[in-house]
């Protein structure tokens, strides 16, 4: 029995903020393609030369469904659709177009069990902290939507064994702090990491950094992070994996020496780099 979806549609909650990377994609590996919708990245997982389908990680900003669908069709073909959507977490900028995408493709969505309340209409996220240390984006953050959506029978919890449906070489890792059920995805064979917002490569609190996609290692976006002790532990867990390449929820994909050096720097200096000096969740 199907339960109907409901929640804010992409056309109801457009966020008038974008970056120079919006509408652009980067092939991180033959089967990892990062695509930017306004200020946030989604990932297409699948090699278009070898596979007849793919998996979408996250669902972008509100009002970006048509962008994502167009990019998917250009990369994989108009007759192809993803096998599933995997959510790193359910903040508005990562689920902004998910209802439209699920309606278009009629596919399942997977999240960590602790994120289920936010995508089954049971619980809203806390209000973003407009008082947190940061710039204009932080100040404007209380305007960002935090209401739960309901994906009905389309959503289910990720398997408890750490496996990722339709992504057999990948595992999910619980990386809470930014949200209770935040996850990252890791592939051991080539040390590829999809970090979500556990850490990012563009500071999200400052408007100019966001617009210009200034490359800089940073912790999770401050205005929506409610558990800084867990956020710190999550960064330590990801650094211990020694990823060779990382796609983050915000900012450019990074790899090699830049990634290893800066992720270690973030781990060792998390309180100075990431944790804000003040704010209601500090």
In a domain, 19, yes or no: no
In a domain, 186, yes or no: yes
Total domain count for the chain? 1
Closest CA to 92 of 121, 60, 132: 60
What tens digit of pLDDT does each residue of 126-143 get? Answer: 999 999 999 888 898 999
In a domain, 172, yes or no: yes
Mean residue pLDDT of the chain comes to 92
Average pLDDT of the segment spanning 35-58 = 94
In a domain, 279, yes or no: no
In a domain, 157, yes or no: yes
Identify the weakest region by mean pLDDT among 126-130, 157-161, 179-183, 201-205: 201-205
The reported pLDDT for the residue numbered 211 is 61
The reported pLDDT for the residue numbered 10 is 40
Rounded Cα distance between 166 and 199, Å, is 25
Range of the domain at 88: 24-274
What tens digit of pLDDT does each residue of 21-30 get? Answer: 677 899 999 9
Rounded Cα distance between 126 and 185, Å, is 25
When pLDDT is cut at 50, 70 and 90, the band that residue 7 belongs to is low
Torsion, Cα 203 204 205 210, to 10 degrees, reads: 90
Average pLDDT of the segment spanning 148-175 = 97
Q: What is the CATH number of the domain that holds 196?
A: 3.60.15.10
The reported pLDDT for the residue numbered 203 is 86
In a domain, 13, yes or no: no
* Integer CA distances (angstroms), 269 to 4, 30, 102, 114, in order: 46, 34, 40, 28
In a domain, 73, yes or no: yes
- DSSP notation for 39-50: TEEEEEES-TTT
Mention every residue, 6+ apart, whose C-beta is less than 8 A from residue 31.
Answer: 45, 46, 47, 50, 51
In a domain, 14, yes or no: no
Rounded Cα distance between 162 and 170, Å, is 9
């Amino acid at each position: 029995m199907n339960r109907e979806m409901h929640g804010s549609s992409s056309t109801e909650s457009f966020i008038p903020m974008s970056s120079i990377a919006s509408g652009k994609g980067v092939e991180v590996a033959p089967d990892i393609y990062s695509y930017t919708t306004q200020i946030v990245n989604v990932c297409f997982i699948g090699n278009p030369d070898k596979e007849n389908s793919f998996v979408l990680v996250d669902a972008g900003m509100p009002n970006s469904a048509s962008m994502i669908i167009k990019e998917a069709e250009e990369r994989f073909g108009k007759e192809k659709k993803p096998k599933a959507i995997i959510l790193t977490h359910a903040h508005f900028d990562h689920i902004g177009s998910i209802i439209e995408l699920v309606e278009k493709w009629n596919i399942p969505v997977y999240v960590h069990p602790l994120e289920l309340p936010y995508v089954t209409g049971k619980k809203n996220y806390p209000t973003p902290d407009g008082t947190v240390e940061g710039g204009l984006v932080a100040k404007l953050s209380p305007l960002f939507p935090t209401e739960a959506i309901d994906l009905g029978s389309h959503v289910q919890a990720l398997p408890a064994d750490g496996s990722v449906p339709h992504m057999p070489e990948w595992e999910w890792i619980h990386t809470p702090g930014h949200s209770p059920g935040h996850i990252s995805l890791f592939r051991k064979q080539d040390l590829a990491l999809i970090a979500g917002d556990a850490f990012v490569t563009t500071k999200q609190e400052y408007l100019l950094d966001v617009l210009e996609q200034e490359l800089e290692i940073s912790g999770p976006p401050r205005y929506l992070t409610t558990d800084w002790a867990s956020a710190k532990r999550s960064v330590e867990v990801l650094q211990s994996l020694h990823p060779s390449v990382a796609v983050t929820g915000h900012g450019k994909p990074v790899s090699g020496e830049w990634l290893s050096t800066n992720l270690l720097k973030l781990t060792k200096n998390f309180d100075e780099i990431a944790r804000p000096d003040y704010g209601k969740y500090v």
